[in-house]
Amino acid sequence: MLEVVGQDPGVALDRNPAQAADPPRPAGRPEMQTWSGAQLRAFLDHVDGDRLAGVWWLLANTGMRRGEALGLRWADVDLDRGALRITRTLITTDVQRKGAPAMAWGTPKAARAAERWLSTPARWSPCASTGHGSSRSG
């Protein structure tokens, strides 16, 4: 039993309530480090034959978040317009952070209230090399 300091001497607790509290988070985030254009080009050249080369290229050239890219469906891709529709994102749930794997579809951070269209660079070479050179639906 724990004695409550500054209270009635007859009052005691079964457990320390502070043990259930989350520790404070660090005050600031570390400064983000980004690659130079040359470093990015070297990376994209290095992964050119990789099965995920198109995803790496997409992330590098659009600024999409990882979860947004993982949430894309063919219905969200309009190669004729050169646009992607961001309607969902793959997120890690609280359960995952506590040890049990769990993923869920969520709303993109940048568009909580509505979907958004993202213009893509004119060069769609990863799509052309995989035979996905035109729009699909579904």
Averaged pLDDT for residues 44-60: 92
In Å, what is the CA distance from 1 to each residue of 6, 9, 24, 111?
Answer: 16, 12, 26, 51
Please state, in angstroms and rounded to a whole number, the distance separating the CA atoms of residues 108 and 113: 9
Q: pLDDT tier at 4 (50, 70, 90 boundaries)?
A: low
Q: Find the radius of gyration of the CA atoms of the chain.
A: 24
pLDDT at residue 133 is higher than 50? no
Distance CA 16, CA 1 (A): 9
Rounded Cα gap, residues 31 and 83, in angstroms: 31
Kindly indicate the confidence band of residue 3, based on its pLDDT and cuts at 50, 70 and 90: low
pTM, 2 dp: 0.57
The separation between CA 90 and the C-alpha centre of its own chain, rounded to angstroms, equals 7
